Structure 1
């Protein structure tokens, strides 16, 4: 699946390059763009695409995992934009458990803007899906030699061996349900939320972004997300981008997430480095 979005990004970039001769550079310089959270930018018109890679750092007792996200946004009016966002986390949550988390989101942004900053309110609808797998399940079907110690009773038949393996998996699942690591990934199904955020141009080359949003998942989970970031206006230093694109920002964002209603203490964090292209 990640390769699919990399292919989309490649096709998007190629189409921009082929369209460069048909773009009037003067028309692209009429508005100063402003970086926004999630590898987007305020452009007032046009289409924005963002892609980023990063790391998800949950609680101290959990392992870090790889993460990536893609964002597509279209400006219907100067004050209204809408888009979709896809985010994936994947990796080893702890010694025994592997996780693949997928989030899909549709959003609308209502903008209040000036030459140097943009503020927005953002209602959104999301869908989350989490797959948690035990490593024992990964090797099911393979013939694995069982180690027996002097205090263990050896399995007499394959059926007894399989029965004991299933019992071990069930025991692990019971313990895992009490584990804060897996509670972080108990989100499944639809969610709704509301966010406020914005961006500001600090200079010709640098900007700052920030967002805070509250999300309710229908698994009866409430989440608070805070995401500050900094951005570099790459379009201003690359002549090709200035001739061809409405916007091109490189951004770094740090996100903090607090989970309520599940007795999980502490914050989990995300770190994303990505790029935004606007046409």
Structure 2
């Protein structure tokens, strides 16, 4: 009987020692895992805190009129170009500035100003100003995006010298320095730059990013001026992504595009029977 109790005691003692050893191993392994996890977390925090090593992944899609889809932040654009009203008018210089702010990933609001200046013909010069504000409703689809936008505009033209001579002509069909057969063409030039007042319209456009470097844009803008004119503008363009070759912009900017945009504009209800053409070189950056 005593031998039985001795054997039972030795067996229980062996089981207890085995259990203690297993528990120690589990604790040791758990501590090691916690140490590794803590080290990984600390490393991640350090990388995030270091602006030189933390690269912010940005993605944007070019859009017409010096814009881009980012879904957040502020966009600012600037462009220069030429505007050719008709074959009978001289080309004018144009510059445009715009801004746009994203309230969320599907709605943005902004405005733009466009100045046309130069010699309308051999004797007259013109300064034509257009101001517009808009709200865009965006529909992003990955590498491409489209939008629809109501537009409100204001036009102001300095054509007093032309208008004064026009209204002071001594006989019907006479314009200083212009033959009768060319009178209609010169009148068309004036009509294109005499839309003083307000206008409303709708803009439908979009853009696509083909690769990480190139993109294309297009838009159709219809406007009604309260002076009785209607304008239709078709504007295709191509864009180059600066973030593909400019590392700083990829870290600090939400978008950086250089674009070339053309425009074809037609006036209705003002007896103008030709298309005006324009071309712009511009850039847009996002913050």
- Residue-pair matches, total: 229
**Structure 2 unaligned blocks of 5 or more:** 1-48, 177-182
Which of residues 262, 271, 279 is equivalent to 2:270?
A: 262
**8 Å contact kept, 1:63–1:92:** yes
Aligned counterparts, 1:6-85, within 5 A? 28-29=56-57, 31-85=58-112
Larger radius of gyration: 2
SS of the equivalent of 1:171 reads coil
CA distance in 2, matches of 1:268, 1:99: 16
The Cα offsets for residues 130-173 of structure 1, whole Å up to 9 and x where unpaired, read as: 111538x9xxxxxxxxxxxxxxxxxxxxxxxxxxxx98982299
Higher relative contact order (CA 8 A, sep 6+): 1
RMSD of Structure 2 on Structure 1 (CA): 2.6
SS of the equivalent of 2:169 reads helix
Q: Does residue 248 in structure 1 map to residue 264 in structure 2?
A: no
The Cα offsets for residues 86-112 of structure 1, whole Å up to 9 and x where unpaired, read as: 000001001122110001111000000
TM-score (norm 1): 0.76
The Cα offsets for residues 33-92 of structure 1, whole Å up to 9 and x where unpaired, read as: 000011110000000000000001110000001000011000001000000100000010
Which of residues 151, 170, 177 is equivalent to 1:124?
A: 151
Would the alpha carbon gap of residues 23 and 82 (structure 1) be closer, same or farther in structure 2, given more than 3 Å must change?
A: farther
CA distance in 2, matches of 1:108, 1:266: 30
TM-score (norm 2): 0.74
Which of the two has greater helix per residue? 2
**8 Å contact kept, 1:99–1:133:** no
Would the alpha carbon gap of residues 219 and 242 (structure 1) be closer, same or farther in structure 2, given more than 3 Å must change?
A: same
SS of the equivalent of 1:241 reads helix
SS of the equivalent of 2:168 reads helix
CA distance in 1, matches of 2:52, 2:95: 33
SS of the equivalent of 1:195 reads strand
**8 Å contact kept, 2:240–2:258:** yes
Question: Which residue does 1:170 correspond to in 2?
Answer: 168
Question: Which residue does 2:191 correspond to in 1?
Answer: 183
Shift of 1:213: 1.2
Shift of 1:255: 0.4
Which of residues 97, 104, 109 is equivalent to 2:124?
A: 97
**8 Å contact kept, 2:156–2:195:** yes
